[in-house]
Amino acid sequence: MKSSIVISLLFLSNLFYAQKVKFKINQTKDSTVFLVRYQGSGMYYADTAEMKNGVAEFNLSNQFPKVPSGVLALLLPGKKYFDFIYNNNEKEIFIETNDPDFVQQMLVKKSDENKIFNDYVKHITSQRSKANEISKQREKFAKTDPAYKKLSEEIDLISKGVVEYQNNLVKSNPDKLVAKIVKMSMDIQIPESPKDANGKVIDSLFGYKYYRDHYFDNIDLLDDRLLNTPMFHNKLDEYFSKKMLIQQPDTIVKYAYIFCDKLNQTSEIFKYCVTHVTSTYEKSNIIGMDKVFVRMGQRYYCAKNSEGKNIAYWMAEDKLETLCDKVEVNKNLIQGVVPPNVILRDTTDVNWKGFYDIKADYTIVYFWDPDCGHCKTSTPKLQKLYSEKLKARNVEVFAVAKATGEEFGKWKKFIKEKNLTFINVGLTENLYKAAQQDARQFIPKYTTIQSLNYQETYDIFSTPRVFLLDKDKKLIAKQLSISQLEDYLDHLQGYKGAKIIEEDKKEEEKH
């Protein structure tokens, strides 16, 4: 019994062993230095130490929250820094080097991970330098010159040597973090394209498709430590960039699902990837990309897992509810979807009109407010564009305005003064008051609850707002300025080089 207690105490002493990270930087002054950790695209503070006589020491065993394994950097005054591998399974790290040539002068005294890493970095640096020198020599020759071919073969030989070095490092150190980091940096090797019986390539896009489908093969997506490196975010960004995927919402959604679905839903990598993709396309200015935000929200935030729990385990309930409310509103306002009809009264305050009844190649649904300063500028521009160009092309405008209280008179006056000849409807004062008393007298006989609450239905938090629909009333684009709307319709309708009606683009797009 006594011996088992001793064994347990020894185990615990190893478990809580003081994690020491020590540096000796020669030829540097006494100063305050910092440990910095990587996560995603950012660098974050981890710890502080005083460097005296070139020595700085960090004790990370008492850190809370615990500094995660990954790549850290030692940051010195003057924004000078160098990276090293931090694996909290190692009890001690001791690195000595000289300022300012940190990497080439580095001597790793303790830490197997960093001995391998430093040798690797030095090797890659030397091989890159050789290849660059040969490349400069090659520039002196024409591509048809035998010397050019010979130098190209030398560069290829260096590249193959680097790949062989990387493969050997990974194979020889299967349990080390450095091996996974090196492997993550390696390019996918694409096999030769399949050919038919006559030797002709079957699929000219084979190489691209293979690279796309195997892009993450060299990354252990089950190891959260790789998130804490500068490479992971760059890899993720490149995958969803135009270098890899067509920047079209349905394409992005398809490959986001394929990628995120294979991740462990309880992992930090899953959390980061889902959050990054969702946030990126929520903020995107590319037409239609809000569809990615909505689809990601529906699949990973507003759905439950097999146990009935929130998939987005990292989200507080109130924030998750807010996000899902936004997803719910915007699911009907994304590219390719028919948005809810708006049926309201025109300026007679008697006749009901809805845009589903419009027969046109394109319909512009335009939300505005007679008290809105920007609306007072853009609405006449829309009228000019409509009368001089769009009407003749079978493009109709359905304008929806706030017309309650004093706005009703202002609305009618503005329409008359600016000669707005397109369809104008609004939530009038009479309709608003009557609906407040009993909306059932209008619903569903004349209108819909979505129409009476059009500001919530269409997420109108500011005006003006433009929604462009095709002949089937499917949403094509939104949040366009009048000049952008003109350009977009000229492109859609095949009027390249058409006379520009709205020329003052820069001024308008400042709003």
Q: What is the pLDDT of residues 39-95, one digit of tens each?
A: 988 999 999 999 999 999 999 988 878 899 999 999 999 999 999 999 989 999 999
* Type of residue numbered 140: K
Torsion (CA) 498, 499, 502, 506 in degrees, nearest 10: 80
Instruction: Give the side-chain half-sphere CA count within 13 A for 340.
Output: 21
Same domain, 463 and 315: no
Same domain, 141 and 179: yes
Among 269, 303, 330, give the residue marking a domain's end.
330
pLDDT number for residue 501: 87
Helix (H, G, I), strand (E, B) or coil at 45: strand
Same domain, 70 and 168: no
Number of domains making up the chain: 4
Question: Which pTM was predicted?
Answer: 0.87
Decide: 72 and 225 in contact? Cβ < 8 Å. no
Q: % helix / strand / coil in the chain, to the nearest 5?
A: 45, 20, 35
State mean pLDDT over 119-146: 96
- Does residue 7 lie within any of the structural domains? no
Decide: 43 and 73 in contact? Cβ < 8 Å. yes
Distance, in Å, from the CA atom of 281 to the CA atom of 288, rounded to the nearest integer, reads 9
pLDDT number for residue 65: 83
Alpha helical stretches, state H, 186-300: 206-213, 230-239, 249-261, 268-283, 290-296
> In the 8-state DSSP scheme, what is residue 9?
H
pLDDT number for residue 8: 43
Same domain, 224 and 256: yes
pLDDT number for residue 504: 56
Distance, in Å, from the CA atom of 382 to the CA atom of 429, rounded to the nearest integer, reads 25
State mean pLDDT over 422-449: 94
Q: What is the CATH number of the domain that holds 481?
A: 3.40.30.10
State mean pLDDT over 344-353: 96
Q: What percent of the chain has pLDDT over 70?
A: 95
How many helices (H) and strands (E) are present in the chain, helices listed first?
Answer: 17, 15
**8-52: per-residue pLDDT in tens?**
444 443 444 448 999 999 999 999 999 999 998 899 999 999 999
Distance, in Å, from the CA atom of 389 to the CA atom of 50, rounded to the nearest integer, reads 71
The mean predicted confidence, pLDDT, of the chain is 93
pLDDT number for residue 99: 93
| pLDDT for residue 113 is more than 60 | yes
**Residue linked to tokens 């829309």:** 382
Same domain, 361 and 488: yes
Same domain, 363 and 489: yes
**Residue linked to tokens 């990837």:** 273
Same domain, 495 and 357: yes
CA distances in angstroms from 419 to 382, 384, 398, 472, 502, listed in the order given: 11, 10, 15, 28, 18
State mean pLDDT over 321-344: 97
Helix (H, G, I), strand (E, B) or coil at 403: strand
Q: Which two tokens stand for residue 320?
A: 């998750």
pLDDT number for residue 11: 41
CA distances in angstroms from 116 to 82, 168, 454, 458, listed in the order given: 16, 12, 63, 57
**217-247: per-residue pLDDT in tens?**
999 999 999 999 999 999 999 999 999 999 9
- Does residue 400 lie within any of the structural domains? yes
- Does residue 162 lie within any of the structural domains? yes
Q: What percent of the chain has pLDDT over 90?
A: 90
Other C-beta atoms closer than 10 Å to the C-beta of 488 total 17
Among 79, 110, 141, give the residue marking a domain's end.
110
* Bridge partner list, 181: none
- Does residue 431 lie within any of the structural domains? yes
Same domain, 384 and 314: no
Same domain, 82 and 129: no
Q: What does the angle CA 246 – CA 251 – CA 254 come to, to the nearest 5 degrees?
A: 145
Taking alpha carbons only, the member of 274, 257, 412 closest to residue 349 is 412
Among 85, 110, 135, give the residue marking a domain's end.
110
Please give the residue range of the domain that contains residue 46: 18-110
Taking alpha carbons only, the member of 365, 342, 357, 356 closest to residue 427 is 342
Burial grade of 196 (CB within 10 A; 0-12, 13-18, 19 or more): exposed
Same domain, 131 and 55: no
- Does residue 271 lie within any of the structural domains? yes
Decide: 342 and 398 in contact? Cβ < 8 Å. yes
Decide: 327 and 291 in contact? Cβ < 8 Å. no
Same domain, 398 and 262: no
- Does residue 139 lie within any of the structural domains? yes
- Does residue 278 lie within any of the structural domains? yes
> In the 8-state DSSP scheme, what is residue 338?
-
Long-range contacts of 188-196 (CB under 8 A, 24+ apart): 188/214, 188/215, 188/217, 188/218, 189/163
pLDDT number for residue 64: 78
* Phi, psi of 372, rounded to the nearest 5 degrees: -80, 125
Helix (H, G, I), strand (E, B) or coil at 409: helix
Helix (H, G, I), strand (E, B) or coil at 64: coil
| pLDDT for residue 158 is more than 60 | yes
Q: What is the CATH number of the domain that holds 35?
A: 2.60.40.1120
**242-256: per-residue pLDDT in tens?**
999 999 999 999 999
- Does residue 102 lie within any of the structural domains? yes
Distance, in Å, from the CA atom of 56 to the CA atom of 36, rounded to the nearest integer, reads 14
Respond yes or no on whether the N-terminal peptide bond of residue 194 is cis (omega within 30° of 0). no
Same domain, 374 and 476: yes
Taking alpha carbons only, the member of 387, 406, 397, 401 closest to residue 346 is 401
